[in-house]
Amino acid sequence: MRRPGIVRSGPAVDTSWAVLEQSTALVASTLSFLLLGRHLGAVGYGAFLGLYALIGPFLAFSQSGVFLATLEHTVREREDPNDVARSCLSITVVTALLFVPLVTGIALLSIGGIPVLTAVLLVGAEFFLNGVLLTSVGMVQAVKGFSPAVRLRMTGMLSRITLLTVLAGSDSLTLRNLAIGQVVSLGAVTAFALAQVGRLQGISVRPGRIRSSHVRSAFLYGLGLAASGAQNDGDKFVLNAARFPSFVLPNATQTRKFFPSHRRHSLPSPKREKPVSTAAPISPTPLRKASRMSSSDDERLPPMIFSTSARSIPGFTRLKLSSVTFA
């Protein structure tokens, strides 16, 4: 076994590329939230979030787990990069073949509002195309260093930003068009990433024999990440599986509309007599006329304000301390 020649950039260069990557990821996630939420609506965007919440724990094995296993066995264990690349590429393909039908079936049975073809394209693009892309990024990082891998990973983010911008600008941002565009854009980026891996010395971009040590590493890495993803995003899938049409139900009227069983199982509220007042009627102020908050909203407002204020105290304290320290 030979040790791969790793070309390392300086800390300043790596840090600059890391900051640029995180900034690009922030722009991509912000655009995704704003554009998809606006064009898909509450039901469509809720179904989209529920689908990706379902995909997340499975992707931890086929993407992040394989990516970290690639780095471990190439850099730390000093295994042959060609053997690691071909084995991890095969693991990515096999897990995609196993998880795509499973996840698609669960999504179609539990999440409404997503057509069959759209679900297949979205799930398949994540497991096949994005999985191969992440495996390629891992090999580039293991052999050439951090900065080249970051540049390769940023191509996927830039393609997503471009896709969302074009679809939103042409007023054709739907789940179907997003799925088709994602397959095309991610396919081009994945082909480019495989070409970059093929240029590495002594590495073939063909699937090869799967090694049990690579499967074990990918499973161990993916298990913790899958548990964390399920804990963070599991509620989004559960809400969709329970046929919630939206994550926010502003008032009791919508609650009774979307959940007819609420009327059957809830106890009847006692009738309240209208109080008789002898005082002169007071006309409501314009501010009170404009307010649409119900009594239940008024009751929930003080705890919400207190909770928000309490959560902001640690951040405000750290900001003040840092300003004093670096003044």
C-alpha–C-alpha distance, residues 208 and 204, integer Å = 9
C-alpha–C-alpha distance, residues 175 and 28, integer Å = 17
Give the residue numbers spanning the domain of 224.
Answer: 18-241
Question: What radius of gyration, in Å, describes the C-alpha atoms of the chain?
Answer: 26
Provide the mean pLDDT of the chain: 79
Looking at residue 203, what is its pLDDT?
Answer: 87
Q: What DSSP character marks residue 260?
A: T
Query: 3-class DSSP state for residue 257?
Result: helix
Q: How many other C-beta atoms are found inside a 10 Å radius of the C-beta of residue 111? A: 23
In this prediction, residue 202 has a pLDDT band, given cuts at 50, 70 and 90, of confident
Q: Give the percent of the chain with pLDDT over 90.
A: 57
- 74 occurs within a structural domain: yes
- 326 occurs within a structural domain: no
Region class of 41: left (phi > 0), else alpha (psi between -120 and 50), else beta: left
Whether 286 shows a pLDDT value over 50: the answer reads no
Residue matched to tokens 């559960």: 238
- 275 occurs within a structural domain: no
Amino acid at 86: R
- 299 occurs within a structural domain: no
Whether 146 shows a pLDDT value over 80: the answer reads yes
Tens of pLDDT, residue by residue over 291-310, are: 444 444 444 444 444 444 44
- 66 occurs within a structural domain: yes
Tens of pLDDT, residue by residue over 113-123, are: 899 999 999 99
Return the HEC string of 126-168: HHHHHHHHHHHHHHHHHHCCHHHHHHHHHHHHHHHHHHHHHHH
- 209 occurs within a structural domain: yes
Comparing C-alpha atoms, which of 98, 71, 107 is closest to residue 236? 107
- 202 occurs within a structural domain: yes
Environment class of 16 (CB within 10 Å of its CB; exposed 0-12, middle 13-18, buried 19+): middle
Residue 323's contacts (CB-CB under 8 Å, 6 or more residues apart) are none
C-alpha–C-alpha distance, residues 182 and 151, integer Å = 19
Looking at residue 243, what is its pLDDT?
Answer: 55
Looking at residue 242, what is its pLDDT?
Answer: 67
Looking at residue 257, what is its pLDDT?
Answer: 41
Whether 158 shows a pLDDT value over 80: the answer reads yes
Residues 36/50, Cβ–Cβ less than 8 Å: no
- 38 occurs within a structural domain: yes
Environment class of 183 (CB within 10 Å of its CB; exposed 0-12, middle 13-18, buried 19+): middle
Tens of pLDDT, residue by residue over 218-249, are: 999 999 899 888 888 888 788 777 654 444 44
Domains in the chain: how many in total?
Answer: 1
Average pLDDT rounded to a whole number, residues 95-120: 93
Comparing C-alpha atoms, which of 247, 141, 139, 151 is closest to residue 203? 139
Q: Which residue has the higher pLDDT, 18 or 256?
A: 18
Q: Which residue has the higher pLDDT, 97 or 274?
A: 97
Average pLDDT rounded to a whole number, residues 42-61: 91
Residue matched to tokens 């941002």: 173
